[in-house]
Structure 1
Amino acid sequence: LTSVPQDLPTSITWLNLEHNAITNLSQSDFLRYRALTRLDLRYNQISMIQNKTFHNLTSLTDLHLWYNQLRSLPVDIFVGLGNLQYLYLSSNQLTTLPADIFVGLG
């Protein structure tokens, strides 16, 4: 896969997209999947995530972004994720993060 599928049931709670060829994530990618509690995007080629991509995923508890090609993250990437308990960002190319990026996380 090179993008997030948009034809899955909107009630899914776990979306496993690991080991694909996704390079970018946009604001519209997860609008349909507001019930997600776990999102696994590890082992892709993600190099860019747009602002507020995960904004509507208020039930999300697990977010796996490790083993991608992320160099930076938008300051508001985690806004609305008050229930997030597990965040995996290792094995990317991140060097610095915005000072307030984790404010409001569970």
Structure 2
Amino acid sequence: MDFPPEIAGCVHHANRGNQYCSEDYRKLFSAHGFIVSMSKRGNCWDNAVTESFFKTLKAELLWQQVRMARQEVEQALTSYIHDFCNPQRLHSTLQWRNLLEDERNAA
């Protein structure tokens, strides 16, 4: 499997399934510059927020789109995160506040 060079440094989120924990899988992704993200053994909640974000992202943005060019995907993701997700979307893990409101309260 060949990956384009511009994806080096991308984070690939995975659960602790056998295929993702295998040495062959990790070596393949490492060789192409991916950073593999997964929860620690015995702690299924480590990546719960990340998994929830990607599920929501797919349902609200990507599954509603027809096939897009890479540049269109980048623009759609940027707009979704900066224009909707951060300033508007309410998050259960933040007591139903948006990210910007939560950051202001933390400051």
TM-score interval for Structure 1 and Structure 2 normalised by the shorter chain: under 0.3
Structure with greater contact order relative to length (CA < 8 Å, sep ≥ 6)? 1
TM-score norm. by structure 2 comes to: 0.24
Greater Cα radius of gyration, structure 1 or 2: 2
TM-score norm. by structure 1 comes to: 0.24
Greater helix share, 1 or 2? 2
